[in-house]
């Protein structure tokens, strides 16, 4: 988190540089290579360790690593069982994936802000933004996927007819209020992925920005500020991962229930 290097362009240049993704392509078809790389890498890390634990899993006495993985799995399972009362083999693995992936992506925040960008610079990468969850594409990638699942399960469980009726006649079941209901429900449905994605993005973006701002201060002030902020961020990254997971469970649970 500490650096004394101020790039050309002063403080603003430094901040902008840190928040610019490594991209390739033009216009809409731009790919944020760093976001994709780190999220795939972190996803692979998650899958590697959990798959290893799953392979070793026996009913016998678990080792420390096994215990750790099982603790997370049980924690997620408890959350799912508390909020979701239907039968769906997807929800719990989905919740676990979200929790672990978001946590790992957020945890990149705790690396020193200049560590990986400097390494990147050394191997010829101009920009490198290491925290995937400070990219709207990453957070919306998840929240829109969750949104599709909400729509899918709403249609599947309630049936298209019932779903449409609910959309038109809920909460006010009167013909005259159909437009109002439509508007309300549309906003309600769209608010779910937008709030999911923006909440995570906003938290992580702001957190990263503060780390960058701290890095602009004289070196002897930095530890006094970045250490408490990092400690606080341990809470934030876990909390955001947890919130994303729980809200996903709750939304999907709502999709399984009729009003």
> Of these, 17, 137, 155, 250, which contacts other proteins (CB under 8 A)?
137
Q: How far is the CB of 241 from other proteins (least distance, A)?
A: 14
Examine the residue annotation and report whether 199 is marked as an active-site residue of this protein.
Answer: yes
> Of these, 4, 5, 30, 81, which contacts other proteins (CB under 8 A)?
30
Q: Does 73 bind other proteins (CB under 8 A)?
A: yes
User: What secondary structure does DSSP assign to the chain, as a single string?
Assistant: -------TTHHHHHHHHHH---EESSGGG-EEHHHHHHHHHHHHHHHHHHHHHHHH--SS---HHHHHHHHHHHHHHHHHHHH--S--TTHHHHHHHHHHHHHHHHHGGGS-TTHHHHHHHHTT-S-----GGGSHHHHHHHHHHHHHHHHHHHHHHHHHHHHHHHHHHSS---GGGHHHHHHHHHHHHHHHHHHHHHHHHHHHHHHHHHHHHHHHS-TTTHHHHHHHHHHHHHHHHHHHHHHHHHHHHHHHHHHTS--
Q: Does 43 bind other proteins (CB under 8 A)?
A: yes
Q: Does 54 bind other proteins (CB under 8 A)?
A: yes
Q: Does 125 bind other proteins (CB under 8 A)?
A: no
Q: Does 202 bind other proteins (CB under 8 A)?
A: no
Q: Does 140 bind other proteins (CB under 8 A)?
A: yes
Q: Quick one: 39 or 83, whose CB is closer to other proteins?
A: 39
Examine the residue annotation and report whether 181 is marked as an active-site residue of this protein.
Answer: no
Q: Does 253 bind other proteins (CB under 8 A)?
A: no
Q: Which of 199, 226, 253, 258 is catalytic?
A: 199
Which residues are part of the catalytic machinery? 195, 199, 203
């Amino acid at each position: 988190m500490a650096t004394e290097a101020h790039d050309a362009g002063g403080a603003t240049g430094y901040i902008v540089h840190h928040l610019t993704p490594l991209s390739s392509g033009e216009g809409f078809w731009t790919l944020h290579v760093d976001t994709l790389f780190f999220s795939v890498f972190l996803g692979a890390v998650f899958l590697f360790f959990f798959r290893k634990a799953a392979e070793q899993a026996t009913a016998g006495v678990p080792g420390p690593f096994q215990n750790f993985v099982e603790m997370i799995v049980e924690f997620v399972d408890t959350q799912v069982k508390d909020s979701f009362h239907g039968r769906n083999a997807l929800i719990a693995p989905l919740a676990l994936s979200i929790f672990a992936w978001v946590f790992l992506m957020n945890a990149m925040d705790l690396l020193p802000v200049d560590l990986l960008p400097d390494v990147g610079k050394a191997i010829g990468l101009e920009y490198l933004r290491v925290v995937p969850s400070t990219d709207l594409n990453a957070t919306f990638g998840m929240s829109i996927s969750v949104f599709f699942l909400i729509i899918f399960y709403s249609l599947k469980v309630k049936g298209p007819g019932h779903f449409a009726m609910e959309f038109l006649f809920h909460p006010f079941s009167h013909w005259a209020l159909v437009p109002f209901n439509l508007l309300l429900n549309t906003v309600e449905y769209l608010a779910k992925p937008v709030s999911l994605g923006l909440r995570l993005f906003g938290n992580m973006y702001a957190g990263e920005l503060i780390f960058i701002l701290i890095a602009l201060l004289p070196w002897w002030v930095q530890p006094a500020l970045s250490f408490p902020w990092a400690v606080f961020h341990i809470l934030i990254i876990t909390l955001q991962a947890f919130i994303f997971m729980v809200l996903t469970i709750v939304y999907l649970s709502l999709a399984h229930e009729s009003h």
